[in-house]
Amino acid sequence: MPKMPQSSPLHTSSNHTIAAAPRAERSGEAVLSTIRQMAAELGFAHIGVASIDLQSAESGLLAWLAAGFHGDMHYMAAHGLKRARPAELVPGTVSVITARMDYLPATTPPDWRTHERARQLAAGEAVISLYARGRDYHKVMRQRLQQLAQAIAAHVGTLGHRVFTDSAPVLEVELASRSGLGWRGKHTLLVNKQAGSTFFLGEIYIDMALPATPATSAHCGNCQACISACPTGAIVAPWRLDARRCISYLTIEHAGSIPPELRPLIGNRIYGCDDCQLACPWNKFAQRSPLPDFAPRHGLQSAQLLQLWQWDEATFLQRTEGSPIRRIGYTRWLRNLAVALGNALRQSSAPHACTTTSTIAASAPNNAAGNTPTPTNLAAHITAALQSRAQHPEALVREHVQWALAQRQSPPSAPSTLYNTPT
């Protein structure tokens, strides 16, 4: 995640034809209506405006940091309370425009949650979080937020601004909830009645006063589906997440060894985790994106573990170009795959191995006609694949490969996905 300087001034955009002209006097509501029209043309689904007074959120932020729930994400604490003080982070900020952009591909089937849960139970599948299968959202959102800011400047005259999307010390969910884009779910993600939670958030800090849009009420009620669904128990209480146990943190943000006690719970998730979103009943309303950027690349929506395990570093870099996956690097990629293969090995070595493990056969080495492994010899193919990297030059990879190989003798663990049936 890019690091911000201690204070970042607003950039100035202006209508090139009236570059020296003062800001036009326009009604705030009229300007906001125009902004929403421009945003829709750029692929944004929802626009709100938040004030910059986030003082009431400071105590919660400090308590979360004090508990150590941020783990190795030291950038979360690096800027003190500037996360909750927009005008200190970016001097001159008066209002914050918040934006939602849906990311489910247009081709996503109606039963996508059922499909994704089935893949999690198939040992050979390599499960990558839905948001990460296409183009890097940082690039898409940042570019379109900048285009929106420039369009606003062309409409009002000059505009001091700075755009953000998960790229700076910004309380994104807090700003989004206060501006009516949704409410904070018990999993800590933003939830919207019309769109669930499968969307990205972005912000434009501006030096122009706009009327704040009203917050919406929460609609989680007594539902605990997201808490029950978390494989590692990372949601330690409603609205309280211990990132150190979160699979997304472990497979993306965490640079070192994955705690051995958590490895079996990761299953076949190799980059991120969608379990809490798959369980959330509101995601039956999840919206499809009109943008082609989030369409899956390189078959990542149906990738197999052994298929990805065969990638060398050059292939990894080529296949992840323009993808958020590249940020973890090849070593962590192999680390994550080794854990998933170890879990697949344990499952396929069980006396009555589930037939879902047979999906790994399609990508097993030497799978020419007559050599496709059967459920009875899947474990041998997984073992051979792991042994091929047992002497990998990176100690992190070797450690996780050795753990994975040891899983052939381990008893199978119970399914880690404990969903309430979504409605």
Q: Is 162 helix (H, G, I), strand (E, B) or coil?
A: strand
Tokens found for residue 243? 């990132």
Q: Is 191 helix (H, G, I), strand (E, B) or coil?
A: strand
Q: Give the sign of the dihedral formed by CA 173, CA 176, CA 177, CA 183.
A: negative
E-only strand ranges, 155-244: 158-164, 183-184, 190-191, 199-206, 235-237, 240-241
Residue 104's DSSP bridge partners are 288
Q: Is 299 left (phi over 0), alpha (psi -120 to 50) or beta?
A: left
**At a CB cut-off of 8 Å and minimum separation 6, what does 4 contact?**
79, 89, 167, 168, 169
Q: At residue 303, what is the residue type?
A: A
CA distance from start to end of the chain: 36
Q: Which is it for strands 46-50 and 95-102: parallel, antiparallel or unpaired?
A: antiparallel
**At a CB cut-off of 8 Å and minimum separation 6, what does 179 contact?**
48, 49, 50, 96, 98, 212, 213, 215
Q: Give the sign of the dihedral formed by CA 191, CA 196, CA 202, CA 208.
A: negative
Q: Do 333 and 316 contact (CB within 8 A), yes or no?
A: yes
Q: Do 96 and 203 contact (CB within 8 A), yes or no?
A: yes
**At a CB cut-off of 8 Å and minimum separation 6, what does 404 contact?**
338, 339, 341, 342, 345, 386
Measure the CA–CA gap between 43 and 87, rounded to whole angstroms: 28
Residue 99's DSSP bridge partners are 47, 202
Q: Is 206 helix (H, G, I), strand (E, B) or coil?
A: strand
Based on the residue annotation, tell me whether 166 is a catalytic residue of this protein. yes
Residue of 166, 207, 293, 312 with catalytic role:
166
Measure the CA–CA gap between 206 and 78, rounded to whole angstroms: 23
Instruction: Give the residue numbers marked as catalytic.
Output: 166
